[in-house]
Copies of this chain bind each other. A is one copy, B any other.
Amino acid sequence: MAKSQISIYVGCLACSVILNVLLLSNYVYVGGKGELSWSRRAAEEAEAVAAVSCSGHGRAYLDGLVVDGSPVCECNSCFEGPDCSQFAPDCVADADGGDPLFLEPFWIRNAASSAMLVAGWHRMSYTFTNQSLISRLLEDHIRKLHTTVGNAVTQGRFIVFGAGSTQLLNAAVHALSPDNSSAPARVVASFPFYPVYQLQTDFFRSVNFQFRGDASLWKNKSDCTLNFIEFVTSPNNPDGQLKKAVLQGPHVKTIHDHAYYWPHFTAIPAPADEDLMIFTLSKLTGHAGTRLGWALIKDEALYQRMSTYVKMNILGVSKDTQLRALKLLKVALEGSGKEIFEFGYTTMKERWERLSDALSVSKRFSIQEFAPQYCTFFKTVRGPSPAYAWLKCEREEDKECYTVLKEAGIIGREGNLHGAETSYVRLSLLKSKDDFDALLHQINKLVAQEDGTKSII
């Protein structure tokens, strides 16, 4: 009995020792390679905030309000309550603005690869070590992405970064304006156009430039000696069409705003190859809050002038912003960009189709049309997926279209702000799913009323 007892003890001891060895080896492993020290607290903070449940209709943020020790949910439009679970039925659909939140789910899906941890001592200097204001690695990644997507030629181009393309628009106008001319350069854009061009040019009242309206009006007058700067937005904001410059001539300079020239929003027929092209992170990865844009510039003197603008204005783009953009572009480049652009295109195409379907039965409202086009990135003919619907109220009595929609619980952007008739309104399709769902809900109601009215008559 004592012998068998001993065997049992020995057996138990052996098992226990083996378990100890296993646990210890794991402990040593965790304590070695995998154990975090100074970064752990920040990682835990971020995970705790991310774990706050906002019912899929809101989000808690690291820099959000904290009540009773808990981060507060910030709810999407049309949702409320402490966990954003309550739908507000009389809610107005806000389809104004260009917040590209349609990409948020992509980043949640890629949480591990897109997170970044910034040390307290990260890049405290004004400049990178080569005295540049620009991250060399980020510049490389931008060039690589353009080559991968095939939407812009970067060879033989200099790159300037700005705090969003917004800053670079004015930097370009400033740099393209002659310094000592008797007349200020005439800044124009073909209508309908992105209103910031005018607002900004008017606001930064310079002796060197002045906004002068619709490019088309100057078409037959541009062969004289007047200096023109034409904004060409392609795809266009608001209507999504691919555009070419209207004005030509020795005294015409052109700024190509390619904010939306990504497979999310348009077919890419060929790489853009213009002298001055402006892009923005906002409409590429969806990070509008991360203020980063870039200009691809052929002419070295122009590059120097635009660099000086950014330096004089803000002493370069924040290093934190450049680091974040680098992280995001690394993820965007995974699998040659297939994942992010498939996600973006599929989302935007589906929204466009649902809106088109809803409006297809309407005689009161119409939206712009697109011809299917071959996309060199997807290597196929593809349908439309624009960032905005350019809606027209067709009835004579509806010519204040913005008001018609507003009364129906939809906030768009007035056509006249874009230099068009008031019978047009821009509707944003690239915001969050909740925003789009609210818009579609109100559109469906509006179109249903139209049918009802018809049937009564």
Contacts and interface: CB of A to CB of B under 8 A. Distances in A.
Interface of A: 2-3, 5-6, 9-10, 12-13, 16-17, 19-20, 23-24, 26-27, 30, 34, 36-47, 50, 59, 61-65, 74-75, 97-101, 103-104, 107-108, 110-127, 129, 135-138, 162-164, 166-167, 170, 174, 199-200, 203-208, 282, 286-292, 308-309, 312-324, 326-328, 331
Contact of A118 (B36, B46, B103, B137): B46
A312 B5 contact: no
Given A38-B47, A320-B321, A107 B124 contact: yes
Given A2-B6, A23-B24, 15 more contacts: A23-B27, A39-B46, A39-B47, A42-B115, A45-B116, A62-B118, A62-B119, A100-B124, A108-B120, A115-B117, A124-B290, A206-B207, A288-B315, A290-B318, A291-B316
A2 B3 CA distance: 8
Contact of A318 (B47, B203, B321): B321
Contacts of A47: 36-39
Nearest to A315: B166
Contacts of A206: 204-207
A59 B34 CA distance: 23
B129 A74 contact: yes
B40 A123 contact: no
B170 A313 contact: yes
Contact of A108 (B34, B64, B121, B315): B121
A322 B111 CA distance: 21
